[in-house]
Amino acid sequence: MSIFIPHGELVVRRSGQIMIVEGRGPWNLEAMKRSEDAAEQVLAELKGKPWGVIIVIHGEPIHVPDAEKKLVELVQLDIKNGRCGSALLLSHCDAPSFALNHIGKIYRTAGEEFTVCDSFEECEKWVLSRVEKAKQK
């Protein structure tokens, strides 16, 4: 059995009905499991009401295949628990175009509605509009 150290880091915090994730890649499966633990408290607080995510990516925007699969599973579970969209801020990462293709593929596979924004404020505005729209349903 191989044991791998986590590659990549994520910091998770909450602002109202928004989960804010700042990450530095690349990410492996062990890093995804560690981030799942880090997000547990925030996710428990958001569960049951519409909420959205702002993701700010730094460094290399790469998930190895196992981490990619895990992220799809986590996003699908989050959608069942009220997640209604994600806004990506890619201007701080090493390869924004690659990030859009790579992370976009993950989100499309998971069934997540997402957008890419040029500023944190734009991300916040988009996510709040998704939360309000979901409350109307």
HSE at residue 124, side-chain half, CA atoms within 13 A, is 7
> Pairing state of beta strands 114-117 and 83-89?
parallel
Contact predicate 18/127, CB 8 Å: yes
Contact partners, residue 106, CB within 8 Å, separation at least 6: 63, 68, 71, 72, 75
3-state secondary structure 39-104: HHHHHHHHCCCCEEEEEEEEEEEEECHHHHHHHHHHHHHHHHCCEEEEEEECCCECCHHHHHHHHH
Domain ranges of the chain: 9-135
> Model confidence at 62, in pLDDT bands (50, 70, 90)?
confident
CATH architecture of 9-135: 2-Layer Sandwich (3.30)
Residue 45: what pLDDT?
95
Residue 17: what pLDDT?
97
Closest Cα to residue 27, out of 36, 39, 18?
A: 36
pTM score, two decimals? 0.91
Residue 1: what pLDDT?
41
Q: Higher model confidence: residue 115 or residue 29?
A: 115
Provide the terminal-to-terminal Cα distance of the chain, rounded to the nearest Å.
48
